A and B are shown apart, each in its own frame.
Chain A
Amino acid sequence: MTTKTIELDIRGQVCPSCLLLTLREINTHHADLSAGRLSLVVLTDSRDATGTIPAAAKNMGLAAQLDKVEEYYRVIIARPEERL
């Protein structure tokens, strides 16, 4: 069960910082994310990152859910078994 959430707000940053910073965060916390102790919430307004971040998360054995929040997007990354 997920006990902790980290929020990464990368709205307004220049491409491809969104993907780079998310990858860095996933790598730093991969053990906790895979074990279900942590979920990562990414806020982005890069339309491209809404596709590349979930694809990268999937490649790293994690699941991602995309939601539109007002004028930006929220990507929730956690282990596949978690209900996002």
Chain B
Amino acid sequence: MTQVVPRRAATRTRPQSATFGGIDDPSGAPAPDGPDFAAIHDSPEFTALRRRFRRFVFPMTGLFLLWYLAYVLLAAYAADLMSTRLVGSVNLGLVLGLLQFASTITITALYVRWARKRVDPGVAEIRESAGAGR
């Protein structure tokens, strides 16, 4: 444990020494410690991207949660209704259950298509202007 303390002290002073050592920096620039996250965060591109993202995923999450809860409550409290035979011995409960599978696959497909069109290009643009590359 004894060696931990001096090491930690070294990290604490690192930013300072970086400023002093700025002259050694080959680029001569004030050593940009990675991308300027605050500037990216406040840029209109990022704000728009984030709004787009939240406007899709939050309502979608609400939708599938409600649909699942409705199904669970029906199974729990409306067993008679769920027992209605539809085709042969296949009842409403089974069909609704399989519809949960179908809706899960549909939402997955919708999200993937939407993200490819509406998120990925925006992300690529922001990454490029931040110099983070592809």
- State yes or no: do A and B come from one complex: no
